[in-house]
Chains A and B, each alone.
Chain A
Amino acid sequence: QLQLQESGPGLVKPSETLSLTCTVSGGSINSDHYYWAWIRQPPGKGLEWIGSIYHSGSTRFNPSLKSRLTMSVDTSKNQFSLKLSSVTATETAVFYCARSDYDSWTGSHKWNFNLWGRGTLVTVAS
């Protein structure tokens, strides 16, 4: 069955750029029925949606992070990626990649995150 796996550096210095990749296995990222998301969770705290991307490269971002955020998709590798610039120590978190349903006929997002990776901890520290 379809699985998601996050990868990337576990330690990033303040003011630098955090970069993560999510690999989709057991299925294709090219489906018209899904958007692919990044969600983060600071230790002991709640969840925050970062942004989502379609296989075409179309993106939707959290407005609070939009100015620092880049997302991309590589359909040949079945991967999508996140870059968050100018990070601070308060952005230490577990980062999850996830999938949500999309109706390409109506352009309607369901934003129901129905499949998740196991998550990867990224610590921002010098």
Chain B
Amino acid sequence: DILMTQSPSSLSASVGDRVTITCRASQTIDTYLHWYQQRSGEAPKLLIHGASSLQSGVPSRFSGSGSGTDFTLTISSLQSEDFASYYCQQSYSTPTFGQGTKLESK
């Protein structure tokens, strides 16, 4: 299995901040990488697919970049509704997820 490692595991930030979460794959996965947001008590929601393509309906403050083994999710100006957990997932082979990053209010 391809191991996905996210950093940091948790993060404190304020509304308006620029936030970056990183995800590293244990082997190259080209751009077969997706990002999800999971608010407390809810199902995950797809934000970014193919490393950098914004899913329909997702605000443009979310962006993704990277290829190969290293990827980032950026929130350009944090909003209150963005406090949640974020997961990366590779689709190069049997799907596997990162352990998650919990974004909390400072």
CB pair A116–B96 under 8 Å, yes or no, is no
> Closest approach, in angstroms, between the C-beta of A37 and any C-beta of chain B?
8
Residues of A within 8 A of B91 (CB): 109-112
**Number of chain B residues close to chain A: CB under 8 A:** 22
Per DSSP, chain B at the interface is loop
B46 interface contact, C-beta 8 A: yes
Tell which of A62, A64, A96, A114 touches B55, judged by Cβ atoms closer than 8 Å.
A114
Instruction: Tell me which of A46, A109, A116, A118 has the highest count of chain B C-beta atoms within 10 A of its own C-beta.
Output: A46
Bound-complex Cα distance A68 to B32 (A)? 28
Expressed in whole angstroms, the Cα–Cα distance for A4 and B53 within the complex equals 24
Among A48, A110, A114, point to the contact of B97 (Cβ < 8 A). A48
Cα distance A98–B50 in the bound complex, in angstroms: 18
Beyond A47-B89, A49-B94, A96-B44, list 10 extra A-B contacts (CB 8 Å).
Answer: A46-B100, A47-B44, A47-B87, A62-B94, A111-B32, A111-B34, A112-B49, A113-B44, A114-B46, A114-B55
Chain B interface residues toward A at CB < 8 A: 1, 32, 34, 36, 42-46, 49-50, 55, 87, 89, 91, 94-100
Interface residues of A (CB under 8 A from B): 46-49, 62-64, 96, 109-114, 116-119
A-B contact pairs, 27 of them (CB 8 A): A46-B98, A46-B100, A47-B44, A47-B87, A47-B100, A49-B94, A49-B97, A62-B94, A63-B1, A63-B94, A64-B1, A110-B49, A111-B32, A111-B89, A112-B49, A112-B91, A113-B34, A113-B36, A113-B44, A113-B46, A114-B46, A114-B55, A116-B43, A116-B44, A116-B45, A118-B42, A118-B43
